[in-house]
Chains A and B, each alone.
Chain A
Amino acid sequence: MKLFEKYRVNNINEDELSTVTQQLIKQKFDRELRDKMTYRLKEEYGITRGAAASGRISGRMILRWSLSVAAALLIGIVAWQVVGGHSPTYQSLTKEYLATYYPNNELRKGATEISKKRSEAIAAYNKEDFETSARLREEVVVLPGANSEDYFFLGVSYLYQNPPKGELAIEPLLKGLEDPARTSLLEEETKWYLTLAYVQAGQFAPARELLEERIQKGGWNASKARDLLHSLPLE
């Protein structure tokens, strides 16, 4: 059986899993690097695969850039006039950040009570029935074997309700971070949703602290964190 087929049907040993994971990750990021470089070669050096290198940046390209800059400026001015130059509020930003639901990829397996309850909670969550999903997760987290992912999905299930229940989301999200071994696979996500829960609950000081941490780390959601931090009311 080929290695990728083994990976697909979960008939793989530890070494093979490592080999396949490495190969898949390498190919994915090599592809991304290639795409970034192809783009930069074209935009910055005028070199494409199809046409011979023009050598230096052509006059046509400079004209195209100038036109793009002018168009961007014009759009910016018009947009500024339409929205009256107002910055987004923290309410509008949290609404925007909560508009896309975090995917639930937990596996539904096992016949124990916790597995069954968890399965029902996942099904409700994936149907976007967040009230049911929160109620079921409340039942899951008191059972032995509950883990940090259960607390995470309980917290986000409160946050995705309409209106979001920020105050109720705080406790489970904090519990999701209470892992002395720090083995949670969703630590960064838990912190992010905890931040949104604090903002929803009007608790800006702890939200500010988490946002600053997110900005300092950079990468995932750092620019969203910056926007949200700037929109928070001064205390």
Chain B
Amino acid sequence: MKSKNFGLSRSAFQELLKALKEGDDNLYQQIFLAHFEDCLNFLKRQYKASHHDAYDASMDALVAFCDRLKKERIQYGNLRFLFTRMAGQLYLRKTKDDSRLMELTSEWDVADEPDGDVPADVMDTFNDAWPRLGKGCQKLLKSFFYDQRKLKEIATQLERNEATVRKQKQRCMSKLQEIFQTLCQ
């Protein structure tokens, strides 16, 4: 069972999820990067992918898999299979090999449609705005929007009530938007 799950036992998998939810992706990187080369080779062998296409698809899969884990949309059982499947789908989507993609999605639709890319100038301004936001706001917004933690969990950790944290999240979003707007002027 462990070999199907990147050497992780069920309890180690739970530890990994906990760390990810707390914003620590070191363990995730450590485990999954050790298998990056296997994934590359699988894509090259299975789909005759070029090295850089296989690299991009494996990297996309690593990021998407991490997101799915945090959303608790992946269960312990056969992580290796799901991961390589996801990388395959992402590769076919990128190379627009729709006929082969259909074969894969009909059976296992593991990779989400990607969100539309944020325009580069917007992202540049946002990257300038983010460090100007208070540390408390940064932590709260990242925990909620990126680490996928529930407001209730965040409130418990901060020893505040949920309504206060909800209000604070709203203020933090507004503050971030204000900073963004100031930088746009």
Knowing A8-B181, A23-B115, the reply to whether A41 touches B33 (Cβ < 8 A) is yes
Q: Which residues of A contact B (CB under 8 A)?
A: 4, 7-10, 12, 14, 17-18, 21-30, 33-34, 36-38, 40-41, 44-45, 47-53, 55, 103, 105, 107, 181-189, 219-220
Interface string of B133-161 (1 = CB under 8 A from A): 11111010110011000000000001010
Q: For A24, give its contact among B33, B34, B118, B174 (CB under 8 Å).
A: B118
Q: Which residues of B contact A (CB under 8 A)?
A: 25, 29, 33-34, 36-37, 40, 51-52, 55-56, 59, 62-63, 66-67, 115, 117-119, 122-123, 126-127, 130, 132-137, 139, 141-142, 145-146, 158, 160, 164, 167-168, 170-182, 184
Q: For B29, give its contact among A7, A40, A48, A220 (CB under 8 Å).
A: A40
Decide if A187 touches B36 in the complex (CB within 8 Å).
no
Q: For A10, give its contact among B34, B62, B172, B181 (CB under 8 Å).
A: B181
Instruction: Give the chain B neighbours of A33 by CB distance below 8 A.
Output: 25, 62-63, 66
Decide if A38 touches B59 in the complex (CB within 8 Å).
yes
CA distance A53 to B180 in the complex (A): 41
Decide if A18 touches B173 in the complex (CB within 8 Å).
yes
Whole-angstrom distance between the Cβ of B148 and the nearest chain A Cβ: 10
Decide if B177 touches A7 in the complex (CB within 8 Å).
yes
Closest partner residue, chain B, to A22 (CB atom): B145
Closest partner residue, chain B, to A5 (CB atom): B122
Some 17 contacts from A to B, beta carbons below 8 A apart, are: A7-B177, A8-B184, A10-B177, A21-B173, A23-B118, A25-B145, A27-B118, A36-B25, A49-B55, A55-B37, A105-B179, A105-B182, A183-B164, A183-B171, A185-B133, A185-B134, A220-B135
CA distance A28 to B132 in the complex (A): 15
Instruction: Give the chain B neighbours of A17 by CB distance below 8 A.
Output: 173-174, 177
Q: Is the interface of A mostly helix, strand, loop or mixed?
A: helix
Decide if B145 touches A21 in the complex (CB within 8 Å).
yes
Decide if B123 touches A24 in the complex (CB within 8 Å).
yes
Q: How many A-B residue pairs have CB under 8 A?
A: 126
Q: Is the interface of B mostly helix, strand, loop or mixed?
A: helix
Instruction: Give the chain A neighbours of B52 by CB distance below 8 A.
Output: 49-50
Knowing A27-B118, A28-B126, the reply to whether A187 touches B136 (Cβ < 8 A) is yes
CA distance A163 to B9 in the complex (A): 58
Instruction: Give the chain A neighbours of B181 by CB distance below 8 A.
Output: 8-10
CA distance A192 to B61 in the complex (A): 39
Instruction: Give the chain A neighbours of B142 by CB distance below 8 A.
Output: 25, 29
Knowing A23-B118, A183-B168, the reply to whether A53 touches B37 (Cβ < 8 A) is yes
CA distance A1 to B177 in the complex (A): 17
CA distance A28 to B122 in the complex (A): 11
Instruction: Give the chain A neighbours of B164 by CB distance below 8 A.
Output: 181-183
Knowing A23-B118, A33-B66, the reply to whether A41 touches B36 (Cβ < 8 A) is yes
Instruction: Give the chain B neighbours of A55 by CB distance below 8 A.
Output: 37
Decide if B145 touches A37 in the complex (CB within 8 Å).
no
